[in-house]
Amino acid sequence: MKEATAPESKPLNPAGDPVNSSAKLREVLEGGAEELGISLPAATVEKVFQYLSELKQWGEKINLVGTDNLRELLTEHFLDCLAPVSLLRPRDFTLDLGSGAGLPGIPVKLALPEIRMVLLEQRQKKSVFLRQVVRTLGLTGIEVIQGQAETPGIREVLAGTFDAVLSRATGKLREVLAIGPPFLKRGGKLLVFKGPKAEEELSRLDPLPRGVNLAERKPYRFSFWENPRTILVFEKN
């Protein structure tokens, strides 16, 4: 398989689109983060825009998130991924399960620089992209592992290792609860992003699988969203 290479760097807003202007996007970023109680230093804001630029440019070459619109990348993806920040401790060893385009692992790492993060992604092209982002942003304390969570070798090496596991758009709740907990230490937390139907999906799992309990529901929303979303927090017994 031919390895993906970094696309040529382009201006973030070459057409001068006022909706996607740097000033407007910065306003949306800082306002959205503030709604979650998060303050992003200026240096971090610059890295966010570097990341958005990489998402846009690589997204023209490989399928990352289904859009290259900068405002959508920011509001539907980056800011959404900051929702679990208040549920994590700064030094938690954290696994982003099925990281894809680095969502939510990279936004969480930018908001919590001291956190130790592993991005687990099975696809080669996306793994190449993730390594490029880590280099471009100069991130430390973060590792990209190419592989499937279900692969015995991966599970054996990483089992019982993490304080927290993040799951966003990685499958149905039943599947996530089968795959995620083995990576956690006892008492560790599995944080699952869910939309407006979180309670409906939970009700189909009554009772929950053995070895986990529902520790918390964290609803959240932004002023620019119509519907709230929820982080479901499961604790490993």
Q: Hey, what CATH class is 83-236 in?
A: alpha beta
Q: What is the structure's pLDDT at 14?
A: 43
Q: Say how far apart CA 14 and CA 79 lie, in whole Å.
A: 23
| First CA to last CA distance, the chain | 42
Q: Say how far apart CA 61 and CA 226 lie, in whole Å.
A: 31
Q: What is the structure's pLDDT at 227?
A: 87
Q: What is the pLDDT of residues 26-60, one digit of tens each?
A: 999 999 999 999 999 999 999 999 999 999 999 98
Q: What is the structure's pLDDT at 1?
A: 46
The β-bridge relationship of strands 212-220 and 229-236 is: antiparallel
Q: What is the pLDDT of residues 69-126, one digit of tens each?
A: 999 999 999 999 999 999 999 999 999 999 999 999 999 999 999 999 999 999 999 9
Q: Say how far apart CA 178 and CA 115 lie, in whole Å.
A: 25
Domain ranges for the chain, please list them: 83-236
Q: What is the structure's pLDDT at 60?
A: 87
Helix (H, G, I), strand (E, B) or coil at 143: strand
Q: What is the structure's pLDDT at 68?
A: 86
Q: What is the structure's pLDDT at 10?
A: 55
Q: Which residue has better confidence, 63 or 180? A: 180
- The reported pTM is 0.91
